[in-house]
Structure 1
């Protein structure tokens, strides 16, 4: 059952469920496409997440009751919305050593050898559920739970762009240099966010991501982050 939850006087949270799953996320994406195609006057922005869609609107152009009616009508046909075929983006990662400062912490927590962690991290395809936190930061689903590792007790002040980390049962890539608390196990030479590139983001919600290991020499040949 879809919930429509007012968020202040100029936003709606359209909620499709309470658990992270590909099925629920497909409904979010379908609804996002349908609402974008509808081009309702007064809609300022739509922000998809794991299970919800935040709809920001101008109350001077469309009233609460009118928008709620339109949103409910739109939901009746989302099963008919065609979602573009997902693309898979392969991301090279140089694991461990100078590129994975927290690999030892992950080894200690999981009891696995470094090579086992690399194999488990790179064997799956990860769905990009949404982007957020920093420009181009991907929230991914599909990680092997055997390598799940808690966040750092004390976040690092500086995580380099391209750093690949673990946080509980999630993995992700820092697209820009920033503070962070994820356990860093490697780094990609690819640039996930470039404001001078079109499109600016290497990955989009709905894509799949596949990591593959590379050597330090290969990293420097491919490096885009300097």
Structure 2
């Protein structure tokens, strides 16, 4: 397939851009290409950033030959293996829904014409893909949310959303890794943080991971949060 293009981004970066839509198969191609670049250890490549539908490669122009790099990218993006997705075992993430932890759960329920309990059931009944990391260290854009509960962002963002908050914004859901302003509909909170420097592996998620949310009560939240 040749449904991608190479775009130069200044003298020290190049973007491989796939189709202009959000789709798990397209995202898988970006994730696979990023992994191939990491594995190749090309001299002068400084960073590789996969997104929903593209990969940006940052490099040192004094150490990396642009023509050779783009040739490698072109060859790898055409490999048949880039169209096969081996589904990893989903990561199970606990969430305490509603109450003070989920101030927007009732609003999402009203949007969906469901009860709060049904919203939780739908949210936990879906397996989500980590499309990309961004916004804050460790923040994973997870999709796709069941359209029944795909409530839009808040009209007025909050000045502070606590770390661990689980939100919905359209077809996306995610966990805030730190206290920050935010406009997503907050339906719960997880005691497991997406980014924690005290862990041997600070980042909980990587692009391409599969995630499932598991409902817990306040007692279990307190036990896991300690």
TM-score for the superposition, normalised by structure 1: 0.92
Within a 5 Å distance, the mapping from 1:58-137 to structure 2 comes to 58-77=60-79, 79=81, 86-137=88-139
1:214 deviates by 1.0
CA distance in 1 between partners of 2:184 and 2:82 (Å): 39
Q: Structure 1 residue 217 and structure 2 residue 225: aligned? A: no
- Equivalent residue for 2:50? 48
CA contact (8 A) 2:29 2:83 kept: no
2:145 is aligned, of 127, 143, 146, to: 143
Structure 2 residue ranges without an equivalent (≥5): none
1:189 aligns with 2:191: yes
Of residues 182, 185, 196, the one that matches 1:180 is 182
**Partner Cα separation in structure 2 for residue 130 and residue 207 of structure 1:** 10
Q: Structure 1 segments of 4 or more deviating over 6 A?
A: 80-84
Corresponding residue number in structure 2 for 1:168 = 170
TM-score by length of structure 2 reads 0.92
Secondary structure of the 1:184 match is strand
CA contact (8 A) 2:15 2:55 kept: yes
CA RMSD of aligned residues (A): 1.9
- Work out the CA distance in 2 between the residues paired with 1:34 and 1:78: 13
Contact 1:31 1:78 in 2 (8 A): no
> CA 1:183 to 1:80, structure 2 compared with 1: closer, same or farther past 3 Å?
closer
